[in-house]
Amino acid sequence: MDKQLLSPEARSRQLSRLPLFSNLPEEALSELSGLIKELNYKRNTIVISQGDDTRSLYIVLQGRLKVLASDADGNQTIFSFLGMGDFFGELSLLDDAPRSASVITVEDSKLLHLSHQHFSEFINHHSEICPLIFKALTSRIREMDKTICDLTSLDVYGRLVQVLYKESSEALDGRIRTERLTHQDLAEMVGSSREMISRILKELRTGGYISIDGKRITIERKLPRQW
């Protein structure tokens, strides 16, 4: 992994690509970039833990991470995977509640880190960012509402289809493909057993709907509405 530090100009460009900061003037972006640290994490490293009292925003420059939470019985749910340009921890900039989820690296990752103290100082001088923050938070809340709705209204197959499409993107060869996902990852994302997910994927592969190579799932044709 490249461990070189970004120049202030490169940091500003990274920030300008984020919805949270995309409409800030160059002067404000330059000031903000000076408040941010670069951090490198090895694979399978916990960046933040559920229940922690830390208060920081993180922006993904390189690598891949997963966001997950555990209930009182130890059951684990994966909410999402994060890649370049994604950010997390923004709620902690606005309140002092414990972290609601854990974030763990899936690959070696490089992140930008903005502390609550520095963010507070910045926002005191740039109140124009407040509407952007509220818009970003509203988008996150809508996404969470949809996830909850899917978990309560769809069966396991329906939830799996939603996750496969959500985690897929167009590859260089034009095919729709996910990043590396284990059957256990998918089970924790849809709230099912690994055995059930394996069974569904096997039948989808037999039917020619998907192919799997190196834990990457390619959607070969539109997935059926029902299983």
Distance CA 9, CA 7 (A): 5
In the chain, how many domains are there? 2
- Give the CATH number for residue 173: 1.10.10.10
pTM flag (> 0.85): no
Distance CA 78, CA 159 (A): 13
Is 59 strand, coil or helix?
Answer: strand
**92 and 199 inside one domain:** no
Select from 128, 152, 176 the last residue of a domain.
152
Q: Are 77 and 140 in contact, with CB atoms under 8 Å apart?
A: no
**160 and 148 inside one domain:** no
**68 and 161 inside one domain:** no
Distance CA 102, CA 99 (A): 7
Domain assignment present for 1: no
The pLDDT value recorded for residue 2 is 44
Domain assignment present for 3: no
**146 and 165 inside one domain:** no
Question: What is the chain's Cα-based Rg?
Answer: 19
CA distances from 29 to 78, 92, 110 (A): 32, 21, 20
CA distances from 88 to 33, 34, 91, 140, 186 (A): 17, 19, 8, 10, 21
Select from 152, 186, 208 the last residue of a domain.
152
The pLDDT value recorded for residue 1 is 41
- Give the CATH number for residue 94: 2.60.120.10
The pLDDT value recorded for residue 121 is 86
Chain-centroid distance of CA 116 in Å reads 20
The pLDDT value recorded for residue 122 is 86
The pLDDT value recorded for residue 139 is 75
Q: What is the mean pLDDT of each run of 10 residues along the chain (227 residues)?
A: 65 78 82 89 94 85 91 84 85 73 94 88 81 74 73 86 92 89 93 94 96 94 89
**61 and 163 inside one domain:** no
Domain assignment present for 71: yes
For residue 82, the cross-strand partners are 65
**176 and 207 inside one domain:** yes
